[in-house]
Amino acid sequence: MNPEDHVIDVEGLSKSFGKHQALQGIDLRVPRGHVLGLLGPNGAGKTTAVRVLTTLLRPDSGRVRVAGHDVVTDPGAVRRSIGLSGQYAAVDEKLTGFENLRMVGRLYGMNRRQATERARELLRRFRLSDAADQRSVAYSGGMRRRLDLAGALVARPEVVVLDEPTTGLDPRGRMDTWEVVSALVEDGTTVLLTTQYLEEADQLSDTIVVIDKGVVIARGSADALKEHIGGSRMDFVLADAADLDSAAGIVADHGSGRPETDRGARRLSVATSGGQTSLTHALAALERGGVPVVEVALRRPTLDEVFLELTGQDEKAAVPAPAAGGPR
C-alpha cells in the first residue's frame, strides 16, 4: 500500500442481524500511527465494527480495508496485520499468564526463545510478572484484561484494535492501558479503540468518531465536539426543591434542550447558546416567577454532558459510572 493510504479505511459499512441494522453505512479513515477513538453508548455498534475490521464478521455491504488488505477478499492478510483485544477477555484459563503469552508468540511463528522473551517483557509491562506462573483462572478481572491486551501485542502488529480496553479496570489499570497505547503510537502502530468514555477517547485519540444506533453522529476532537454541541450550561441551585418543576418550565424558555433536575442537590441545569445574556434573562424570569435561587453558574459542559447531548441518552444507560478516580 502507498504510505499516504489510510491504514484503516472503511467506507459505507453496513451490517444487520436479522431485521436489526447494527451498522448503517459508517465511514472511518485512520492514517498510520494515529489513534481513532470510536465512542458510543451500549448497543451503538462498536463491537460489530471491531468484529468486521478483524474479519470475525462479514460486512453486508461497504468496503473495509486494513493495512491495505480487504477484509472480505483477503482476511488472512488482515489477520496477520492486526492484534485484537476484545471486550470479553480471551485467555485460556487452564494456562498461566506466561504460558498464554508464549503460546500466542508460538502461534505467530516465533521460536521458543523469542516467544519466552516476548512473554516476559509483556508481563513486566503489564505488571503481571508476580502472577506469571499462576493459572489465569485465578486472575482478577482486571488482570485478565491486561493479559488479553498483552496478547494482542505479542506479534508487534502494525494495527491494534482494542474493544473497550479499560472497561472493568481499576484506575491504575486504566493508566497502564493509556500508557501502553501511547507507547504503541510512538512505535508507529495504528490503533482503533472503542470506549464509552469521551474523556478517555479525548486522552488517547487523534480523532473521535461518535456512533449511535449504527450511524456516525459526530467526528472530531473533544474540543470540536464541545463546540459542535455549542455553548455552555446554566446551573441554578434553588432554595426549595419543591420549586424545581416550575423552575424547569421557566428556565426551558432561555436554554436549549430539556433542563435536567437533581432533586437531592435542588439543582437545575440546562444548555444554552446565549451565554451571559441567557443567564441574566433566566434569572430575571425566575425572580418574576417567585423562585428563590441560592446559587447560579455559567460553565462549559462536562464531557459526560457532551456525550449525552450527542447521543440523547438517559445518563445511567449511556455512561456507567467508572470506578472512583477513573476517567470522567
Ligand X SMILES: Nc1ncnc2c1ncn2[C@@H]1O[C@H](COP(=O)(O)OP(=O)(O)OP(=O)(O)O)[C@@H](O)[C@H]1O
Q: Does 31 bind ligand X (CB under 6 A)?
A: no
CB of 213 to Mg ion, least distance (A): 14
Q: Does 286 bind ligand X (CB under 6 A)?
A: no
Q: Which does 17 bind (CB under 5 to 8 A by kind): Mg ion, ligand X, none?
A: ligand X
Within 54-83, which residues bind ligand X (CB under 6 A)?
none
CB of 148 to ligand X, least distance (A): 15
Q: Which does 100 bind (CB under 5 to 8 A by kind): ligand X, Mg ion, none?
A: none
Could you tell me if 229 and 271 are in contact, meaning their C-beta atoms sit under 8 angstroms apart? yes
**Residue carrying C-alpha cell 472497561:** 167
CB of 164 to Mg ion, least distance (A): 6
Binding mask 36-55 for ligand X (x = CB under 6 A): ----x-xxxxxxx-------
Give me the residue whose beta carbon is nearest to Mg ion.
47
Within 83-142, which residues bind Mg ion (CB under 5 A)?
87
Cell readout for 262 is 437533581
Q: Which does 44 bind (CB under 5 to 8 A by kind): ligand X, Mg ion, none?
A: ligand X
Give me the long-range contacts of 287-293 (CB less than 8 A, separation at least 24). 289/246, 289/247, 289/250, 291/238, 291/243, 291/246, 291/247, 291/250, 292/238, 292/239, 292/240, 292/243, 293/236, 293/237, 293/238, 293/239
Q: Which does 142 bind (CB under 5 to 8 A by kind): Mg ion, ligand X, none?
A: none
Name the residue nearer to Mg ion (CB basis): 46 or 145.
Answer: 46
Among 8, 47, 173, 255, binds Mg ion (CB under 5 A): 47
Cell readout for 167 is 472497561
Burial class of residue 286 in the structure, from the number of CB atoms within 10 Å of its CB (0-12 exposed, 13-18 middle, 19+ buried): buried
Residue from 32, 33, 64, 69 nearest 51 by CA: 64
Give how far the C-alpha of residue 248 lies from the chain's centroid of Cα atoms, to the nearest Å.
32
The contact set with ligand X (CB under 6 A) reads 17, 20, 22, 40, 42-48, 87, 196
